Structures are given as C-alpha cells and as structure tokens.
Amino acid sequence: MTRTVGRILAESLAAHDVDIIYCVPGESYLGLTDALTEFPQIRLVVCRHEGGAGFMAAADGRMRDGRAGVALVSRGPGVTNAMIALHTAYHDATPLVMLIGHVERKDVGRLALQEQNYSRLLSDVTKGVFEVIQPVQASEVIARAFHLAQAGTPGPVAVILPEDIFDEPAEGPVVAPRALPKPGPRAEDLDRLAEMLANAERPLVLVGGALAAGGEAALADLNRLAEAWTLPISPTHRRPHLFDAHHPNYGGYMGIRVPKPLIEEMKKADLMVCLGERLSDSISQSYTFPAAPEPQLPLVQVWPDANEIGRVWRVDLPIAADPHAVIRGLLARNAPEASEARRRWVKGLNTIHRSLLAPEWERMEDGVNFAAVCAAMSRHIPADAAVTSDAGNFSSFLHRYFPFRQTHMFLASNVGAMGAAVPMAVAAALRRPGKRAVAFVGDGGILMTGNEIATAMREGVAPVVILSDNSGYGTIGMHHEGRYPGRPYDQATRLVNPDFVAWAKSFGAAAFAIRTEEEIEPVLSEAFAVTDRPVVVHVRSSAMQASAWKKRTMPLPA
C-alpha cells in the first residue's frame, strides 16, 4: 500500500511501544484507524464514551512505569467529553497522549462543523498541544508529544490531526523515541538529607506518585530505607499501595482528612520529607500541614522537575531528582543507630494506624454501613489485584479499613473526578490479564461511565464492581449538613436510581445484592467466584453514615 501520513502515524505509535489505544470511533480520524488495521500489535479498544476512553488511557499511563497511555477521540464533542481525563492526568502527573481528529486544513477558521481552537481550549489541562500540518512532520510530532508527556513532571499532551492529512503520501523515517533524562541527586544534597534525617527525632516521610514509576525495585528499596534508617513511611493521597499497611514502619495514610488521632500525632514531627510527592491541598490537609507558604517544620521535597519544587511552599532542601536515585543514595550511606526516641516515634504512629484498622462501626437503620464491606474486602481481594476508586464519601471507608499492600495497584482520579473507577478497572483488567481488577464506585459515579461495562464485555475482561448505593450525592449532602446544620436540602442531592442488579444483568454481567451485614461474606464469596464476565455487587448503603461518623468525633468521609 502507498505510504501515507496515517501509516507513518501508526508506525510511530508502534515505535513508541503503544500496544493499546482507547477510542470512541469518529469520522475525523478514519485514515488513522484504517492504517492501524495493518498493525495487529496495537489493540484498539472501542469505548462507549470519550470520558471512559480517557480515564482508561490515564489508568494505562499509571500502569506502564512512566510510559504514556493513549486515547484517540474525535473533534469537538469528542474531545470536550474527554477533557475530564486530561484534567485528571494533568493534576495527577500522569503521562497521557491524546490524539484528536480535526476539521480539514482548508476549513480551519471558518467555524466548520465541530471546529475548535484546541491550543486555547486545552491550554490549562495539558503540557502542550501540537498540530500536524505538514506530512513530513507527522512522526516528529508524535515523538515530541511522547517525550513531553513523559519528561519532567509527567502529564497529558494533545496531538491535533486534521481529517484530510491521513491519506496524503508521506516519506521519511519514523522518529525513534527520545531518551528521557533521569536527574540524579547531587552528593551535597544527599549529605545534607542524611544529616537532617540523622538529627531528627520525629521525621515523617511522605511517598508519592513519582516513586511509583520506579516499579518493584523502587518499592523494595523504600522498604530497606525505612528499616535501615528507622523511618515512618506515609503513602499520600491516591497512592495507598506504595507502602505495605502491615509493615511496622507504616506511618498512616496521608490523604484527605486524616483521622484526628493520627494527624495530631503526625503534627509532632520535626522534619517532613516529601519523596516523589509534589504536594497538594488534599495531602497538606488544606494547606495546614505543612502550612503554606511557610511550613511549620523543616521541609525536604524530592521531585524530578525543579519547576515544581517550591511552587507553593518554601522548601528547606529542594532536590530535583529521581526519588529512587535519592533512596539508593541514602542506602549507600551508613545509617546511624536509631535513638530510643526515634523508635518510640515510629512505633507510636504505627500503633495509631493499626488501631484505626480495627473493625468498629455502627449498624445503621437505613442500610449497610459501607465500612463493613470495605473491611471484609481484605478477605476477598487478592494481593496482586488492581483496586480502583471513584470520588465519594464511600471511598474514605476503603482507605481506612482496607490494608493495601505494595503488590496491589491502586488507580483513581487525584482531582476527585466522578466516573473514573469503572473505566480504570476495565483498563487494569486489560493491562494485567489474569489478575483481578476491583472498582469501588457510588451510585452517582456508576451512571456517569458505568456503561463501560459494555466495553468489558466486548473485550472479554471481568472486573468486579462494588457499588455503594445510598440514593444520593452523599459527599455534597455531608458538606451541606456541615455548613448549614439543620437545613437539609435533599432536592440537590437525592437520586432516583434504577434496579442496579437488573441494569448490570442487561449488559450480560453477573450481579449480586447486599442488603444487610449478614449478607456481606456469602455474597462477596459468590461474586469473586465469577471469573468469566464482569461482576456488579450492589450494596444498599446507609445514607446516615456521615452523620454517624460525625457524632462519634471520627473524621468526616471525603
């Protein structure tokens, strides 16, 4: 066949080790999908909504050790539907390349059907927007897009592809992937960090997303560091799997609204080290710990991109480096003998963490306490499973009662976008064949992108979806109650839902219902025994949980 731009683009994607592309078909990029038929190594996964396709690609970017996930969407409505994933990837520092069909070049500027100015539209949710105008630059633009998406602070990049360019003849070589620089720490920075750790009596180490790209080796070295230097390790928001919750050096999960007993103890720290974490309001407890812009304790931040360090907080020791390299550098130095005070500090944090795992919740009159479901999941979710979570107050029970291991993979939207859990679980099932993918989602989020169960059926994968149904937007109701006590406003939060069991079965999925706590164990056992198709477990959850937690002076769910 004649070598066309479409063919060059397909060859370039293959050269960048792309093996899955998530899409909703569109006529604006037919020339590319036609070319992809000649590349059986690239799996084109057809989704039911661009938001779902984008979330799947974002999840893929989290699972591929620093390599970008790829979504392919059409112009106008297609890309605007997918912007939720761009927003998620941008805030989550996730590498993502979104290929976007566009109007023909001769019609640009005429307000042609579905035409938009993507450089303006996407400027605040991408690292860059590139447009292929000349056939000779097609492969070069792809290489540039992947490089930018994966370098420094990772993030989403958009590539605009005019509809009329795909069939044009093209010559020239395919541009190979560019080597990514891996900044190493300076010896003087490592010396200073080692000195600060040695002198601290109560250090707190937060570990975040940049460390995840190092894979199993980085996490194994993190364990060695914690033990050799007697350090408490706290995984940050949406990264609970970076340190084993059963490890004696586990210092508690640093996410939204840390439980009061734990955060009060954490605030006694005399040094904070943010290892592979760029920090946010969710992690800093709304910019109070560390306080912004002047932290109340010495702050060390390790992040591969110098532009991110010190953007909000004054940092005492900024280290623009690969966090795994920093860990290796510390391991190469002799760790001092830990003082008795240091050992008490680590043990004290871990004791509080373990006490919060204790199964204590109240039976509710209006449904199942979702805490009981999350606690039971530790007996059913395999240690190598991928776990995904949507946004909603139900997710706080997951983070409190489910002890994550480093062998788990956790995927979610860092910005709290609803609708991420189901498509991300589908992507995890595709990326990790033979391993379980389990989604936790509320009744609000499930009807945003739950139709991707159809994608799971089409692709032959079997995620398990745990659906918490309290017939309302629970988080919003909780916040309204907190701000305006005694003034309920159900009109803004109450939901009318379908029969979710019948809904799930209509896709061909297996479906089960939990209506009482006594049904939790037998239903979960039956649900996890299904491996040949998607599974939906409908939990009739209590809508009173937020109030119950508040009365017991426990932290409000996020």
SS (H, E, C) 31-69: HHHHHHCCCCCCEEEECCCHHHHHHHHHHHHHHCCCCCE
Specify the pLDDT at position 360: 72
> Is 459 domain-assigned?
yes
> Is 411 domain-assigned?
yes
> Is 174 domain-assigned?
no
| Residue 450 clears pLDDT 50, i.e. is over it | yes
Looking at residues 203-224, what average pLDDT do you find? 94
**Closest by Cα among 138, 156, 167 to 79:** 156
Looking at residues 188-208, what average pLDDT do you find? 97
Looking at residues 236-260, what average pLDDT do you find? 94
Do 47 and 95 have their domain in common? Answer: yes
DSSP 94-126: --EEEEEEE--GGGTTTT-TT---HHHHTTTT-
Specify the pLDDT at position 549: 45
Cis preceding linkage at 290, omega within 30:
yes
| Residue 33 clears pLDDT 50, i.e. is over it | yes
> Is 360 domain-assigned?
no
| Residue 328 clears pLDDT 90, i.e. is over it | yes
Yes or no: say if 196 and 271 are a contact pair by the CB < 8 Å rule.
Answer: yes
Q: Helix or strand or coil: residue 73?
A: strand
Range of the domain at 138: 5-162
> Is 354 domain-assigned?
no
Looking at residues 527-546, what average pLDDT do you find? 91
What's the pLDDT tens digit per position in 373-383?
A: 999 999 999 99
> Is 444 domain-assigned?
yes
Looking at residues 367-396, what average pLDDT do you find? 93
Looking at residues 84-108, what average pLDDT do you find? 93
Do 534 and 387 have their domain in common? Answer: yes
Beta-bridge mates of residue 514: 539
Specify the pLDDT at position 366: 81
> Is 481 domain-assigned?
yes
**Closest by Cα among 168, 160, 131, 134 to 35:** 168
Q: What is the mean pLDDT of the chain?
A: 92
Identify the band that residue 492 occupies on the pLDDT scale cut at 50, 70 and 90: low
Identify the band that residue 114 occupies on the pLDDT scale cut at 50, 70 and 90: confident
Do 106 and 200 have their domain in common? Answer: no
**Alpha helical stretches, state H, 332-438:** 340-357, 370-377, 394-401, 421-431
Looking at residues 260-277, what average pLDDT do you find? 97
Do 299 and 381 have their domain in common? Answer: no
Do 237 and 287 have their domain in common? Answer: yes
Yes or no: say if 142 and 175 are a contact pair by the CB < 8 Å rule.
Answer: yes
Specify the pLDDT at position 552: 41
| Residue 260 clears pLDDT 60, i.e. is over it | yes
Q: How many CB atoms lie within 10 A of CB 179?
A: 8
Do 460 and 409 have their domain in common? Answer: yes
pTM here is 0.93
Q: Helix or strand or coil: residue 302?
A: strand
Do 226 and 78 have their domain in common? Answer: no
Taking the C-alpha atoms of 122, 128, 131 and 134 in order, what is their torsion angle to the nearest 10 degrees? 170
Domain with residue 418: its CATH number is 3.40.50.970
Q: What b/e readout covers 25-61, taking b as 16+ CB neighbours within 10 angstroms?
A: ebebbbbbbbbbeebeebeebebbbbbbbbbbbbbbb
Do 298 and 393 have their domain in common? Answer: no
What's the pLDDT tens digit per position in 58-82?
A: 999 999 989 999 999 999 999 999 9
Do 217 and 299 have their domain in common? Answer: yes
| Residue 11 clears pLDDT 90, i.e. is over it | yes
| Residue 365 clears pLDDT 90, i.e. is over it | no
Question: HSE on the CB side for 99, CA within 13 Å?
Answer: 33
Lowest mean pLDDT among 169-178, 341-350, 465-474: 465-474
Distance CA 555, CA 397 (A): 11
Looking at residues 205-218, what average pLDDT do you find? 92
- Count structural domains, the chain: 3
What's the pLDDT tens digit per position in 405-429?
A: 999 999 999 888 999 999 999 999 9
Residue 425 or 474, more confident: 425
Specify the pLDDT at position 495: 76
> Is 105 domain-assigned?
yes
| Residue 385 clears pLDDT 90, i.e. is over it | yes
